[in-house]
Amino acid sequence: MEYAQPIPPAASPRRAVVLRALSLALGMALGIASATAAWIAGGVLAARGRLRVVDTFVHHGLRPGFSGTETWGAAAVPYFVNDLGFRDRAVRRVPPITRAGRRLLLLGDSFTEGLGLGYEESLAGELEAELGRRSADVEVLNGGVASYSPFLSERVLRRFLEAGYEADELVLLLDVSDVQDEAVGDYERLGETGRFPPLWRRRLDDWARGPQAFWETTRFASHEEKVDYYAVRDRWTEDDALWERFGRLGVERCRRSVRRLRDLAAGRGIRLRIAIYPWPTQIDSPRTPSRAQRAFAELAASLGLPLTDAFPEFRAHPDPRSLFGSGDVHWNAAGAALMAQRLARDLADGASSGSRPSPRR
């Protein structure tokens, strides 16, 4: 005997619409999750072998042992990084104690690193050669990395010392960008945990923040007001509104970071010197002395540190713009050489020898 099969009730139109919407939403969510995971993983994998790396202790740095080229503008120059993560003449292991008469460590940002210049043309290469011409037996280590500020430089020195390395002298190069980096970067808050996020977490945070994360922008007076990061980077010395918005705060944060650096160096008997120099904006400015010049001089004096001020040499040059790259604020070989000559005058005869700062200030 055959029985008729029951006919399932027809789905209501509303229920069908809901099911389709849920399926679509689930598919989109899975697609976004897959694309996000691939983007994050792709960024992490792509970073392998590159010169510039994420560093959870100093935020970012150079890959130890890197050997290759680095492009800056139209220039592609050879790049070598030693085992400390410092740019060098060649890939090598740096001995904890120098074999030279004394060791000088340079700390700073892209100017110190020498963007667009071969090592011998960079400040470190020129300075070591200049000191040698003045009969000073000095090994120069280049701890500068693009976008470092005094807060990060202190962490570089801390890692250097904790790893058992020694230095006799330390020069911290300051410029106008450090003020913005200290004010906007808020490294003091980020550093409270002792570590910065790894690369995968940074890319995840970028994705969560949306398209704005892909632009170099920052917030100043309010959440609604966005100011292009690089457009105002060197303008706080000329614009009173920018001075009040972030310049004053940045200078104070620089002072606090340099004080920590001074105390760390003093604890190991390392003599610290501050060196300052102008960007083209400050050279062209009718303000003499520059607001940056005054602020950094007061910073050094308040901490009892010797100061090398290269503003006069750059301004007195017959053609100051010829000291910088074409369409760039960074030194070319002539600019790096001028800075090295100015700094060597204060270092060749041990002029920093009286700069053992007291950590009590």
Residue 75 has a pLDDT of 85
Q: How do residues 198-214 score in pLDDT, each as one tens digit?
A: 766 655 655 555 544 43
Q: Tell whether domain 52-354 is in CATH 1.20.1630.10.
A: no
Q: How far apart are CA 351 and CA 347, in angstroms?
A: 5
Mean pLDDT of 149-167: 97
Any bridge partners for residue 80, and if so which? Answer: 67, 88
pTM: 0.81
The per-residue DSSP string of 113-131 comes to HTTTS-GGGSHHHHHHHHH
Q: What is the mean pLDDT of the chain?
A: 84
Q: How do residues 18-48 score in pLDDT, each as one tens digit?
A: 667 676 766 665 655 554 444 334 444 444 5
In the chain, where are the structural domains located?
Answer: 52-354
What kind and span of H or E run contains 169?
strand 169-174
The mean-pLDDT minimum among 58-67, 202-211, 268-277, 329-338 falls in 202-211
Q: How far apart are CA 105 and CA 141, in angstroms?
A: 5
Identify which of 8-22, 67-81, 262-276 has the greatest average pLDDT.
Answer: 262-276
Look at residues 162, 165, 127 and name the one whose alpha carbon lies nearest to residue 338: 127
What band does 219 get if pLDDT is binned at 50, 70 and 90?
very low
Any bridge partners for residue 170, and if so which? Answer: 105, 272
Any bridge partners for residue 273, and if so which? Answer: 171
57 vs 38, residue with greater confidence? 57
Residue 25 has a pLDDT of 66
Residue 43 has a pLDDT of 45
The mean-pLDDT minimum among 97-106, 255-264, 350-359 falls in 350-359
H runs (alpha helix) in the chain: 13-46, 110-113, 123-133, 150-162, 176-185, 187-190, 199-209, 240-242, 248-267, 280-284, 291-302, 311-316, 333-347
